[in-house]
Each structure stands twice: as C-alpha cells, then as structure tokens.
Structure 1
Amino acid sequence: MSRTTATCARASSRPPPNRLPKIISPHTLHAPIRLAKGCGLMLEVSSTAGGPMSVDDTARVWTIGRLADALGAPEHRDELTVERVGSADPVLRVVMHDHGDLAIFVSCAGEQIVVSSLLWPVDEMADAAAFNHFLLRAQKLVPLSNFAITDLDGREYYELIGELSIESTLRTILIELRALAHNALDAAADLRQAFAAA
C-alpha cells in the first residue's frame, strides 16, 4: 500500500527548498499533506508494489536518441511506432496506431520537447481569417494543445502543437502524445466541419 508521510524538521537539518530531491511526481502522491506553519517538508513515498518507481515515472533530461529508445521500447509497440527523420536537426515521427496511424512529430528544442501534427492546408478554408479568429476563441476548449500555422513547401497548414519540459517523465510524454492525437482527430472531424457548416 502506498504511504506518504510529512514531518517537521529543524531548519539546520533539512536542505533548502530549492534543493529538495525530485523524487515525487503527481502520480505518486495520493494522500493530502498538511504542514504546520514554519515546518519543513520531508516526504517518504513507497510504490504500491513495494519495488522501485516505474521507469515511466522517472524524470530525466531527454534527447532525441533517448526519446526514440524509450518510445520504441517493446511495451509501446502496439500503441505506436517511432522512426527518426532528418539528419541535421533530427526529429521523431511517431505513428499513433490507436488513433488511425496519425503521424506526430517530436523534437527537442532547448528546454522543451515539442510534439506536433499537421492538420490541413489553410487555403482549404473558405474564410481563413474568420476560422483563425474562431480558433483563437476556441483554444481554451482544447486541452494540452495549441493551434498554429506552419509553412511546408511553400503552402501554409494548420498544425496542432503540444510542449513539455525536457525533464518530463515518459508517462507525461505519452499522455501528451495521446492527447495531441485525440485533439487532432477531433479538430479534423468536428471543429473543421462545425465551422464550415456555420
């Protein structure tokens, strides 16, 4: 059974708050924590199985190579396929099998992991300016994803983008990929048609 304990500690016996070890993820904290005023926080977390934390919950600094290895692991094979594209600035093409083999592109840029999927050409919208205005207003209804316009071979396309910290857990990256795939399919099927019908 999972257990979380919080105890007060003297200021001299605890590390400064900005130096606390990163051993807790939101997925491992199950109990509310109450602190008395002026108390430091020390947490002890044990997994429900009594063993080490899942590799999916381990924070790390990602590179394209590490992401390719982690996402290409056998346990993810039924859900997605990963391949590297490009050589100068390598990008991963992740095919989401549970979402109609939708392609999502993954890159590492500075302190971020960027995931994106092309939607459809801007010039296919009868009134692109009105649709763009509509997208800006509807943005808050689309969880974890942002709309953008990108140029591809001289043609502008709508694109759905998600961004994560380079230190995100693999579990968080998988959640982002699934959310982006779901949102892209919803945008293509519902959002585009709803606007066209209005």
Structure 2
Amino acid sequence: MSHWTIEQLQQRLAENFGGANVAVLEDAENALQVVLAEAGDLEITLVLSEDQIYVSTPLVTGAQVQDRAAFNDACLRMNPINPLSNLGLSTVDGQDVYVVFGELSADSTETQIVLEIRTLGINAIDAIESLKPFLVKA
C-alpha cells in the first residue's frame, strides 16, 4: 500500500517543480499534473494507486501519423532503448493517442519520482524528434 497521499505528493513535487507547475486534476481520482518548464511546458500526468504511480504524457494523436504501421514498428523498436519509459497507445475522447509512460512502486522515494518525471520528459522529447519522419507534415 502506498505511503503517499495525493496531497503529500503534490506538496513534494511543488517543492521540486514549483507550486504553479503542479496541480491536482479535479476530474480524475488521485491524479496530478506536472508542467515541466525546462521541457517546453510539457505536461506530465501522475496517477497514484495503492500499488503504483503511473506517469505519462501524450506524444501525438493517431491522426498526426502518416503511416500507422510504420510508426508502430518504429515505436516498438524504440521501446527497448528508452530508459525508464515506454511507448503505448491510449484512447482519449474517442481518438487514438500515442503516449510515453512509466510506472513506479507506490512506495518510491521522492527522489525516484522526480527522476521518473524528468526522465519521462526527456524521453518524450527524444521520441518525438526520432519519430518526426512518420508524422503528417504541417
């Protein structure tokens, strides 16, 4: 069982990322949003459960991808070399959204959680740079 409450986690993360950059998400249970100013205001979502802390950020929507099969192949090949993060596919408001995500034990230390958030941000930026050739040209 987690030794964190969402309020404790919010307070500790606010100390690391700035109070204005950490907020409880009112429309989701036990969820926070952290804005990484150093990563171009990338929004990272944390969801706390009894057993784990799920950390994620959207990468692109399916509609932004030229060739989904080629993109999926590239994502799968990138996964093993992406430290502490995974690439996946979720459905948000009826549309496919590619995400970068990671999980930690709910008993992780503050240092481990902060490292996961920062690493996930770096990995998301690296992933989008690597996957640009597969995206619809704007």
TM-score (norm 1): 0.63
Instruction: Give 1 or 2: higher helix fraction.
Output: 2
- Letter matched to residue 90 of structure 1: N
- Matches of 2:70 and 2:24 in 1, distance apart? 37
User: How many angstroms does 1:165 deviate by?
Assistant: 0.6
- Letter matched to residue 14 of structure 2: G
Name 2:3's counterpart in structure 1.
61
Q: How does 1:106-125 map to 2 (within 5 A)?
A: 106-125=46-65
Name 1:52's counterpart in structure 2.
none
Segments of structure 1 that go 5 or more residues without pairing to the other structure are 1-59
Tell me the alpha carbon deviations over residues 13-67 of structure 1, each in whole angstroms, 9 at most, x when there is no partner: xxxxxxxxxxxxxxxxxxxxxxxxxxxxxxxxxxxxxxxxxxxxxxx71221211
User: How many angstroms does 1:137 deviate by?
Assistant: 1.8
Name 1:40's counterpart in structure 2.
none
Is 1:171 the counterpart of 2:111? The answer is yes
Is 1:157 the counterpart of 2:97? The answer is yes
Indicate the larger mover: 127-136 or 151-160. Answer: 127-136
Q: How does 1:1-198 map to 2 (within 5 A)?
A: 61-73=3-15, 76-77=17-18, 81-87=21-27, 89-188=29-128, 190-195=129-134
User: How many angstroms does 1:195 deviate by?
Assistant: 4.3
- Matches of 1:184 and 1:126 in 2, distance apart? 19
Tell me the alpha carbon deviations over residues 131-178 of structure 1, each in whole angstroms, 9 at most, x when there is no partner: 112211221111100011111111111000011011111011111000
Question: Is the radius of gyration larger for structure 1 or structure 2?
Answer: 1
Could you say what the CA RMSD is over the residues aligned between the two structures, in angstroms?
Answer: 1.9
Hey, which bits of structure 1, 4+ residues long, moved more than 3 A?
A: none
Aligned residues with identical type, % of pairs: 36
SS where residue 72 of structure 1 aligns? helix
- Matches of 1:94 and 1:167 in 2, distance apart? 19
- Letter matched to residue 126 of structure 1: Q
Segments of structure 2 that go 5 or more residues without pairing to the other structure are none
User: How many angstroms does 1:192 deviate by?
Assistant: 1.4
Q: Is the 8 A contact 2:25 2:32 kept in 1?
A: yes
User: How many angstroms does 1:90 deviate by?
Assistant: 3.2
User: How many angstroms does 1:109 deviate by?
Assistant: 2.3
TM-score (norm 2): 0.88
- Matches of 1:76 and 1:137 in 2, distance apart? 32
User: How many angstroms does 1:87 deviate by?
Assistant: 4.6
Tell me the alpha carbon deviations over residues 89-108 of structure 1, each in whole angstroms, 9 at most, x when there is no partner: 13101001111111000011
